[in-house]
Chain A
Amino acid sequence: MTATAPNSFRRAAGRHTVQEDPMTVRDAAAALPRLEVTALSKTYGSGGSAKCVIEDLTFTVNTGEVVCIVGPSGVGKTTLLKCLAGLQPVTSGAAAIDGRKIDGPPAEMALVFQDYNRSLMPWLTVRKNIRLPLRHLRLQAAELNQRIDTALEAVGLTHAANQYPWQLSGGMQQRVAIARALAYRPEILIMDEPFASVDAQTRFELEDLCLKIRDDFGMTILVVTHDIDEAVYLSDRVVVLGAKPARVLDVVDIDLPAPRDQISSRALKEFADQRTNVLSMIRKPA
């Protein structure tokens, strides 16, 4: 594993956010809902055996925001992401990007899947995995290689470029999946419990990486997680879902100062308050 990775992420993230006033980012963002979910419902089956997974879900994600969706496990978060990514049709309501209804995988979106060990092509090396989605973008060779190199560097895997995914640890595989999304340069990045099965240290690294790419590339990021601490640490806003079927209990604004830092941000009283706030909503019997 790369021992130097966490420090370089944090330093870079800090440097960037300090230059840019976080408030201007948020003010500008407030005017621009990038991703809008309006009264979205999803029902599997029909008639008597119909199972309503998502009911009347409404929230927005603004440009440059990191928004986390939290909720009890099995609440249909993955189904929601599949609807947003255009992989599954919605039953009613709509999801839209810039007012355009999503009815297939949108060009400006990338998705990092939960099962990192099943989302990478085992027959391709790390480098070729990252290159696969870029082939149809018809880039110049120089830009193609530069994008791959930048993405590999961002996740600290330059040394593993020619290895196969199955030769890497779980955390490294997930970083390859993130690098693949980064090289694709999406405007909207959606991640499904991306750090669920990596060890605590790697998780911190990946969380900071997530904030860094938002700052560096101006991406809009939506993360599904079951980890409340993670949600509070990463988010500008947290969408709290209740079971079942999934519906929005509350959207919580997180006003922790930027740049976030794994040690000092988590030590703030505000952090603990927000954490308690979100957790009590989820734990409250419906």
Chain B
Amino acid sequence: MKRKALNWSLGVATPVLLVAAWWAASANSMNTFFPPLSAIMVRFRELWLFDHFGSDILLSLRNLLLGYAVATVAGVVIGFVTALVPVARWALDPVIHFLRGIPPVALVPIFISLIGFGIEMRVASIALAALFPTLIATVDGIRSVDTTLKDVSSVYRLSRGEKLAQVYLPAAGPQIASGMQVSLQVAFIVMIASEMLGSSEGIGAMTLLAQQSFMIPDMWAGILLLGVIGFGANLVFELLKNRILAWHAGSRRLANS
């Protein structure tokens, strides 16, 4: 108990100390590229709370969520088909492994030329890039479902729908969740990149614009915001995962004790 409290306070104290150190070290900074943290915070508040909140933050987040949602749904569905339909498996496996090798950000230029600079381009590139981690994890997860569980489902004559939804999906759940977490990170990266390359709105575009017009505190404020959003998104994901997959965490904890 004491140990746990100590760990928690360490976890909170370290970032607080780092921020304090940054604040102190940069307080009288004359360096153009490293303005005082106080100046960055002023711009942070002016820009994001809440002047550009509706126009840029919400826009970025909407693209992120939309692209991510498409990616995870498509990833799980295509993953199921690839893992369970032999023909699809032979046809899709090599393609998937080739496509996953392409760095996600490299896809953005293609999308710019194909779809243009609009919202569709950004959502499509986020979705395509974020698809593969979830897809591959789903295929692996489904293929490693225990044969005994499959036999149990057959003996009790579960319908096809029941097998998919009540056995395969939960059994592969932990692996699918790991894939979805990587997909979330990829989606976030591509969201920023798509805005930096092809757009004049969104947090990524604002941040790059600030750098190009030499508004360095604004640039730092954008970077800070991206950090906060990335941290928050991951935190929300973890909380949901721990809730939905509580059985998995519980059984693992018990198996290891």
Contact = CB atoms under 8 A, between A and B. Distances in A.
A binds B: yes
Contact of A166 (B154, B157, B251): B251
B155 interface: yes
Interface in A107-152: 107, 109-111, 113, 115, 118-119, 121-123, 132-133, 135-136
A123 B247 contact: yes
B146 A105 contact: no
B158 A122 contact: no
A275 interface: no
Contact of B155 (A111, A115, A164, A167): A111
A103 B251 CA distance: 36
Given A105-B154, A133-B156, A166 B148 contact: no
Interface in A158-200: 164, 166-167, 180, 184
Most buried by B among A110, A133, A180: A133
A26 interface: no
Q: For the side of the interface on A, what is the size category?
A: 20 to 34
Contacts of A118: 146, 148-149
B160 to A, nearest CB: 11
A46 to B, nearest CB: 20
Interface in B165-223: 166-167, 170-171, 173
A105 B157 contact: yes
A132 B149 CA distance: 12
Contacts of B170: 121, 123
Nearest to A129: B152
Contacts of A164: 247, 250-251
B241 to A, nearest CB: 13
Interface in B240-257: 247-248, 250-251, 254-255
Interface residues of B, number: 23
A184 B170 CA distance: 22
Nearest to B159: A136
B93 interface: no
A119 B152 contact: yes
A222 interface: no
B149 A119 contact: yes
Interface in A56-70: none
Contacts of B51: none
A82 interface: yes
Interface in B96-147: 146
A110 B158 CA distance: 12
A164 B252 CA distance: 13
A113 B152 contact: yes
8 contacts: A85-B155, A87-B151, A115-B148, A118-B146, A121-B170, A132-B166, A135-B162, A136-B157
Interface of A: 82, 85-87, 105, 107, 109-111, 113, 115, 118-119, 121-123, 132-133, 135-136, 164, 166-167, 180, 184
List the 8 closest pairs (A to B, CB-CB), nearest first: A133-B156, A166-B251, A118-B148, A123-B170, A123-B247, A111-B155, A119-B148, A105-B155
